[in-house]
Structure 1
Amino acid sequence: MSARQPPEQQAPPVQRLRVRYAKRGRLRFTSHRDFSRAFERAVFRARVPMAYSSGFNPHPRISYAGASPTGSASEAEYLELALAEVVDPATIHASLSEALPDGLDIVTVVVSAGGSLADLLEASRWRLDVPGVQAEVEADVAAFLAAEELVVERMTKKGLRQLDARAPVAALRVVGAEPPTVSLELLLRHQVPAVRPDDVLSAMAAISGRAPLGVALLTRLEQGPFDAATGRIGDPLDPRAAS
């Protein structure tokens, strides 16, 4: 019996593109696994000249970074494509936009400036539309910010974990109200293990002692490099961010 032949080694990528995309409307309920499958199908339909991994089961080289939780909308999701040919980013933008379903929308495609995309995603700015009374929500925000530590529990793949929901919050404030909903803006630093916006809301509910009045709508507005001095989030696709 002949020995099993080693797998074919794939050529290295000749270009890397970084993509900003949005999850809108009902597509916010798309899980990361469902999105990755939909995106790989779109790449195939759009005839994107992907580079492939080596091994017995080659797959297109797509790197996902900072994916938002299932159920949240987002205007700032990111991934990187490794390509076997040099292409015009505008062409890839147009072809992927046509291949993806409405609600999974390509925002920007640029040539990678190098470095790690994941390392540039240091913080996120969120809008939280929360059912409630404005005065009560403002009191809950004040109590949250006054606390030094607020431990919440969340079930993860590794079991029940305790997280300090206060530590990564750089800013939290009420920005408007259209009864019966109050809108909050949350600036959340990324850490390991990750604290999510719903963890912050769970901590606020624990402070107030009131049961939530309904389901909050979570929307990520930005994510990228974080300047603690100014409280601003930069553009991770800006070539200066990678330098």
Structure 2
Amino acid sequence: MRTQPEQQAPPVQRLRIRYAKRGRLRFTSHRDFSRAFERALVRARVPMAYSSGFNPHPRISYAGASPTGAASEAEYLEIGLAAVVEPEEVRRVLDEALPPGLDVLEVVVSGGGSLTERLEASHWRIRLPDVAVERLSEAVERFLGTAEVPVERMTKKGLRSFDARAAVLALAAAPEVGIAGETGDERPPDARYAILDAVLRHGTPSVRPDDILAGLRGIAGLEAGAAAVSQRVAQGPFDPRDGTVGDPLAPDRDAAGGG
């Protein structure tokens, strides 16, 4: 008879972490990041809690990971610890243990509830260096005026077709002066970009910036070009009153502050 595995103690503290994927590290896949993060936990000597079973693994829950190739200022995960630690110290040691470009921005004590359920929408900024702002504005207007925008994407289960329009909560075009290195673009700091600003509701399947670009191409003939760079600037609860994406860690800070 196989010996029953040792039961691990439950976590005594849960921390929620916001991190960024910047520059060339935006090409890090979710699997590559998870491996790098687990190695960083070991190097930083973070006292992780482990799952029970024959193959214990550190208690890490990832939420709403961005697609490979997209930069982000709003990636989230939660870890369970075997000892109580100072969140700011964990932020510091993890940030030092991870390579530049995978940057730990904030660590807070979990106030309970589901972090994933707070991630209702994402605010994306998509830079299109090879598209005129006027042309982009026309394409956006046509997109928003269309009831359904079917797109196709290759998934693990094969080619899948879905409506990209249903996930769009806001879409707008604007010019912007680029900041060299902000999203890994190596063009001069004074280069001008057309910007596609999008707020997308999370769902199944999750609509990504590439899907919106595919929809703009399909209904308006807009060719974004290979130089398009997507950056998630926020991820969290959606406020329909003003159309903004909020901070998912705000309730945890409130709980820690007693309010």
- In the alignment, which residue of structure 2 is the partner of 1:162? 161
- In the alignment, which residue of structure 1 is the partner of 2:214? 202
Structure 1 counterpart of 2:197, from 181, 185, 188: 185
Provide the TM-score with structure 2 as the length reference.
0.89
1:181 deviation in Å? 3.0
1:83-162 alignment, distance < 5 Å: 83-130=81-128, 131-162=130-161
Q: Which stretch of structure 1 is more off in the superposition, 202-211 or 72-81?
A: 202-211
- In the alignment, which residue of structure 1 is the partner of 2:180? none
Would you say 1:32 and 2:30 are equivalent positions?
A: yes
Residue 167 of structure 1 aligns to a residue in which SS?
helix
1:215 deviation in Å? 2.9
Provide the TM-score with structure 1 as the length reference.
0.95
| Residues 234 and 241, structure 1, Cα contact 8 Å, conserved in 2 | no
Pair 1:174–1:210, CA change in 2 (3 A): closer
1:163 deviation in Å? 1.3
1:242 deviation in Å? 9.2
Give CA-to-partner distance per residue, 1:69-89, whole Å, 9 cap, x none.
000000000000100001110
1:133 deviation in Å? 1.3
Aligned residues: 241
Q: Which stretch of structure 1 is more off in the superposition, 209-218 or 136-145?
A: 209-218
Give CA-to-partner distance per residue, 1:196-216, whole Å, 9 cap, x none.
111001000112225443331
1:233 deviation in Å? 1.3
Residue 87 of structure 1 aligns to a residue in which SS?
coil
- Root-mean-square deviation (CA, aligned residues, Å) is 1.6
Identity of aligned residues (%): 60
- In the alignment, which residue of structure 2 is the partner of 1:55? 53
- In the alignment, which residue of structure 2 is the partner of 1:45? 43
What is the CA–CA distance in structure 2 between the aligned matches of 1:155 and 1:242, rounded to whole Å? Answer: 42
Q: Which runs of 5+ in 1 are unaligned?
A: none
- In the alignment, which residue of structure 2 is the partner of 1:4? 2
After the TM superposition, list the runs of 4 or more consecutive aligned residues in structure 1 that deviate by more than 2 angstroms: 177-181, 208-215, 240-243
1:193 deviation in Å? 1.1
| Residues 236 and 242, structure 1, Cα contact 8 Å, conserved in 2 | no
Residue 175 of structure 1 aligns to a residue in which SS?
strand
Q: Which stretch of structure 1 is more off in the superposition, 175-184 or 80-89?
A: 175-184
Corresponding letter in the other structure for 1:219: Q
- In the alignment, which residue of structure 1 is the partner of 2:184? none
- In the alignment, which residue of structure 2 is the partner of 1:238? 250
1:177 deviation in Å? 4.2
Give CA-to-partner distance per residue, 1:115-134, whole Å, 9 cap, x none.
11110000000100012111
Would you say 1:225 and 2:237 are equivalent positions?
A: yes
